[in-house]
Amino acid sequence: MTKDLIIVESPAKVKTIKKFLGSNYEVEASVGHVRDLPPRALGVDEDKDFEPLYEVIQGKQKVVNKLKSKAAKAEHVYLAPDPDREGEAIAWHVAELIKGKNDNVLRIQFNEITSRAVKEALEHPRELNRALFDSQQARRVLDRLVGYKLSPLLWKKVKRGISAGRVQSVALRLVVDREKERQAFAPQEFWTFKAQVADAEGHDFGVELARIDDKKAEVGGAAEAAALVNRVLGDPARAVAPEDLLPPESVGESAGRADADGVVVRGPGVDFVVQAVDEKERSRAPQPPFITSTLQQAASQRLGYGAKKTMSTAQRLYEGVELGDRGTVALITYMRTDSVRIADEARDAARAFITGHFGPEYYPDKPRAYKTKASAQDAHEAIRPVDVTLTPETVRPVLQRDLYSLYKLVWERFVASQMASARFWDTTVSLDAAGSVWRVKGERMLFPGFLAAMPAAGKKQTPELPKLEPDQALALRELRPEQKFTQPPPRYSEASLVRELEEKGIGRPSTYAAIISTLLDRDYATLLDKHFVPTDLGMIVCDQLVKHFPALLDVDFTATMEQSLDEVAEGQEDWVALMKKFTSDFYPTLEAAKKEMAAVKGGLETGIACELCGKPMVIKFGKAGTFLACSGYPACRNTKNFTRDAKGEIEILEKQDADPEIVGKCPDCATGDLVIKRSRTGSRFVGCNKYPECTFTAPYSTGVACPRDGCDGMLVEKSSRRGKIFYSCNRYPECDFAVWDWPVNEPCPECGSKILVRKNTRGKGEHLACPNRKCNYTRSLDEDGDGGAGEGQEQA
C-alpha cells in the first residue's frame, strides 16, 4: 500500500507525529533549510530582477536524496515545516527539489504538535503561499546585498573579517547611541527625605516627603536640605548646617544633628499630623499570554536566560519532550509569534481548568480577549501550553531543569491571562509637618485572582499601617535626608534591547535572538553585568555607517522596510519592485562611500604620545581585541592595554608588577619561557614571553585525559565569547566533549564515568559530582580532605 509522506522541518518532530498517525504515513525531516544562496558568492543576478541563484546547502545532499526517494514512492507529499515565513521558504525549496518525483505536493501547518492539530491540518491542506515565500526571499536577497556590498568596504576601511547587516547594524546603533548618551550625561544632585513616625501606642512606620508648600518636593542641594530639616524640627537650638548632612569626618553627639548614617534625630515636641487617610479598592488585571518578545524578556528577567537559550529551549518544548509513560509530548504552541490571540478551544480548556482547580470565582464574568497590536502579523496564536492540565508540577519530575523553568513561565502566564483580576484595598496616608507633606501607601489583598496561578508576581512588601485618623499627632522618631545624583540612562540588557527592537519595529520575532548573537559574535559589543557595552570596533563601525549610510542606519527606515516586507507577504507589493526601490538609493550611496569613507586600519588617533619615542599612540583592532600601539611601528613596538572610563576617555592599564608564572621553555624558539596568560574572554592559555618575536601559544591543560572512548585528547581550558569558562577536548572539532566545571581525574563509583567535576554551589559548597546528567553521585570535599586535584593543581 502506498503511503503519504509528511516532511517536517526538525527531526525532533518526526517521532511525535508518527505516534499520532500510525502506519499510513511516512514522516521525514528536512533538517532545516535545504537550499540557500551560495556561501562564498553574491548569488543574486542583479541584472535579472535580482534572481536568486540557489544551491543545495553543503552537507544536505544526502537529506535531499532521501526526500526525493521517499517522495517518488508516496501518493501525496505534505510539506509541514514551521508555520512562518522561514517555514514557507523551506517548504517551497523542498517542493522545487522533489517536483520531478511527485506532483501531488501540498502545504499543511499547525500551531501545536497534537493529534488533533496534525489531523486537522491534513484535512485542510493548501497550496504553497507564493507571496509568503516572496517575502522571505526578498528579506534574504536584501540582507545578502547589504552584507556582501558593505562588508568588503568595512574590510578595506576598518578591519578584515568584520561584517555589516541591514538589521544588526541598526541594533548596534541603538547600543552605541545609548553609550554616547551615558558618556555625555552630567549628573544632577538631588535629595530624598524619609522619616520614621509612631503613634501613641508605639506603632511605627516610614513615610516619604511628597510636597513642600503645595509644590512637588524638589531639593537640589545640601543648603536646601538643611533648611527643610530645620523647618521640620522647628528648634533653632538644634539647627543643622549643610555640612552636617554630608558624609562627615567626625560626628557630633547632640540630638538634632546628623549621625554617621545621615539620620537626624528629632528634638523634643516634634510632631507629624495626619492630614488625610484615603482608602479605596483597586483591581489589577492579568497580562496577555506571551508572544516571542515578551517571553524573551520575562525569561531574561526571571530566569537569567539569553534570547538564544530561551528560543532553543522553547523549540524543544514545542517539538516534544519525553514524559515517561506518556512518551514524547509537545508542551507548548509555536514560539515565534507576535499575536496575543488564542484559539477558542484553548480558552474553553482554560476556563474548565480554572473553575475546577481554583474555583468559579477565579474566572472573570466574561472570557478575556486581548488586542494584538496593528503591526503584528497575527498568523499564529500566542505562546501557550498545549494541554493546560499538564501543570508544571506534574511534569517537573521528568523534565530537565531549563525545560521545566521555561514551561512553568509559559503555563503560569497563560493560565493567569484567563483568570479574574486581583483585588486590593489601598490606603494612602498624608501627613503634615511644618507645611511639608509626607506620604505612605499600604496595600492589603482582598482577592488574589490571577495571582493564585503565579504567586511570585504578587509578592510585594508594603508597610502594615496602624489605624489612623485625620488630625492625629504622630511622634517623629527619626528623619533621614539622603544626597543622591541622577543616573545616566541604563545600558540595554537582552530583555530591554528586545523590547526596544519590538517597539521600534526592527526585525521580527524570529530574528531577535540572531540579532543579539551577531552583535556579540562580531565583537561589536560585549556583555558587562548582563548589559551591552559597545566595543571600540563596534563604535567605529557604527559611526562610519551612520555617516555614509544614514538611511540604512535610520531606525524609521528599517521599520518601514519591515512593513514593506509584510506587504509583500500579504500580496500587496511586488518583491522585485521593492528591491529596485531600495537599490536605487543604496547603490549610489555605496559608490560614494567607497571614495569618501576614511580608512582607520592604520589605527584610530588617541591624542596620546608614546613614552618611548614620542610618536602618537593609536587604537588597533587585533584578533584578541583592541589595544594601543605606537604609530612608529615597526621601529617602535610599544603596545598597551586600555579601558575607558564613564565618559569614554582612555585609561591606560599598566602592566602588573607580579612576574608571570613560568611553566616551561618555548618549543618553537627554544630561548623564550612559556608563561600563563589570559585571553580577552577570560580563559587561560600558555604563550611565549618573547611575543611578538615568537607567536607560540597552546591551550591551558587541566592534566585530565578526555574521557570519551577512543579519544586520546586532553581537556583544556576555554572560554565562550561571552566570557564563560569551560573545559573541552583539545581535539575539537574531531571530539566535542566538554564540561562546564573543572575536571578531576577520578572515576565515578556509581556509573563508571571516567571523570568527576569540581563544583561550588550555594547549598552544598565545594563538592565533587558526576558530569553524567543521569547520575546523581556527589561527594563533599570534607569526606577525603581535598577531593582530588582541584583547579590550578595540574600544570600545562
Residues carrying an active site annotation: 334
DSSP secondary structure string for all residues of 405-468 = HHHHHHHHHHHHHTSPPEEEEEEEEEEEETTEEEEEEEEEEEE-GGGGT-GGGG------PPP-
DSSP, collapsed to helix, strand or coil, labels residue 264 as: strand
- Is the bond into 634 cis (omega within 30 degrees of 0)? yes
DSSP, collapsed to helix, strand or coil, labels residue 595 as: helix
| Contact in structure between 77 and 54 (CB atoms under 8 Å) | no
All three cell numbers of 338, joined, read 507576535
User: CA-CA distance, 227 to 508, in Å (whole number)?
Assistant: 54
Between the two ends of the chain, the Cα-to-Cα distance in Å is 63
User: CA-CA distance, 709 to 755, in Å (whole number)?
Assistant: 12
Taking the CA atoms of residue 90, residue 94, residue 97 and residue 99 in that order, the dihedral angle to the nearest 10 degrees is -130
Long-range contacts of 661-667 (CB under 8 A, 24+ apart): 662/689, 663/795, 663/796, 664/796, 666/690, 666/694, 666/696, 667/696
| Contact in structure between 322 and 442 (CB atoms under 8 Å) | no
| Contact in structure between 175 and 181 (CB atoms under 8 Å) | no
User: CA-CA distance, 508 to 499, in Å (whole number)?
Assistant: 11
All three cell numbers of 377, joined, read 502579523
Q: How many Cβ atoms from other residues are within 10 Å of residue 701's Cβ?
A: 19
Partner residues linked to 605 by β-bridges: 618
Partner residues linked to 596 by β-bridges: none
All three cell numbers of 158, joined, read 576598518
| Contact in structure between 511 and 496 (CB atoms under 8 Å) | no
Q: Write the CB contacts of 325 (distance below 8 Å, at least 6 apart in sequence).
A: none
Kindly list the strands in the beta sheet with 673-678, ordered across the sheet, starting from the edge strand earlier in the chain. Answer: 662-665, 673-678, 684-688, 697-705, 714-719, 725-729, 738-739
Taking the CA atoms of residue 39, residue 41, residue 43 and residue 45 in that order, the dihedral angle to the nearest 10 degrees is 170
| Contact in structure between 765 and 735 (CB atoms under 8 Å) | no
User: CA-CA distance, 17 to 3, in Å (whole number)?
Assistant: 15
| Contact in structure between 140 and 53 (CB atoms under 8 Å) | no
| Contact in structure between 560 and 521 (CB atoms under 8 Å) | no
User: CA-CA distance, 430 to 437, in Å (whole number)?
Assistant: 7
Question: What's CA 558's distance to the chain center, in Å?
Answer: 21
Comparing CA positions, the residue from 324, 317, 493, 522 lying closest to residue 409 is 317
| Contact in structure between 663 and 674 (CB atoms under 8 Å) | yes
Question: Is residue 2 packed enough to be buried (19+ CB in 10 Å), middle (13-18) or exposed (0-12)?
Answer: exposed
Q: How many Cβ atoms from other residues are within 10 Å of residue 65's Cβ?
A: 12
User: CA-CA distance, 677 to 146, in Å (whole number)?
Assistant: 39
